[in-house]
Amino acid sequence: MPRLTAHFKEHSIDHSLITFNWFLVVFVESLVSDILLRVWDAFLYEGTKVIFRYALALFKYNEEDILKFTTI
């Protein structure tokens, strides 16, 4: 996601500030329960790579909205 990466760099946004909580609690505060249970199921079946895939998917899904932000 080059546009999103450039946007983060332009506004000096550290993506780890966003993703830290996702990884710490495995999306429990970010997803509705039916989707959360699917993520956990995939995580338990396939391992940690699933967490990174879902994080990238969330960024991709929300890319246009994120690009509209100019301040945090």
| pLDDT per residue of the chain (72 residues) written in tens, 0 to 9 | 899 989 988 988 888 887 887 777 878 888 898 988 998 899 999 998 998 899 899 899 989 998 998 775
pLDDT at 31: 86
pLDDT at 44: 92
Alpha carbons within 13 angstroms on the beta-carbon side of residue 60 total 7
The overall longest dimension of the chain from CA atoms, in Å, is 38
pLDDT at 72: 59
Minimal CA–CA distance to 27: which of 56, 68, 3? 56
42's tokens: 């995939």
pLDDT at 2: 92
31's tokens: 């997803």
70's tokens: 């100019």
For residue 66, give the amino acid letter: I
